[in-house]
Amino acid sequence: MRLRASFFPPLPEGEGYPERISYEEGQCTFEKPAIAITGLSGLNITGGYLIGTHADCPWRTREQIKHELLSFMDIEKYGKPELVGWCSGYDWVAFCQLFGTMMDLPQGWPHYIKDLQQVLDDRGISDDELPAQEDGVHNALEDARHLKKLWGYITRNDCWQ
């Protein structure tokens, strides 16, 4: 109960949450939470999840995250994913652990992540020289958009090469 009091109260309430969240089980509860993913050849997926299936849930299980990533980065739809991070060594380890080990990543996915900090260090670029993020600092989606802009600018622009 102490854990519940420490972590669950900050989660959103109202707007349909109380009846859809089981605080005791630490899960969102839905009548039909599983929707099969199609088009992922060679993968044995049972009870997969489509992106948005749990969009109104304030958390995900590791299995849900894994299946949403499989749908989001479907090679047949989008081609080979390019993964880029900033000081992302630990993030990469945690990402791979969703699938077991790096060797368990889906066929065709890279077994590495490109790291912006390595490129900055190699080119002698300090963080102070980079354009500042305008909005949403430490918001995962806004951080990703900003990183995409920086990566494209630095790797495709000859100003620092």
Contacts of 61 by beta carbon, 8 Å cutoff, 6+ apart: 27
Whole-model pTM? 0.64
What's the token pair of residue 5? 């009091």
What's the token pair of residue 48? 């997969």
Using DSSP bridges, classify how beta strands 114-115 and 84-85 pair: parallel, antiparallel or unpaired: parallel
* 139-144-145 Cα angle (round to 5): 100
Q: Does domain 80-161 have CATH number 1.10.1760.20?
A: no
Question: pLDDT truncated to tens, each residue of the chain (161 aa)?
Answer: 444 444 444 444 444 444 444 544 555 554 444 444 444 444 434 444 444 445 556 677 888 889 889 999 999 999 999 999 999 999 999 999 999 999 999 999 999 999 999 999 999 999 888 989 988 888 888 999 999 989 888 887 655 54
User: Domain coordinates of the chain in residue numbers?
Assistant: 1-61, 80-161
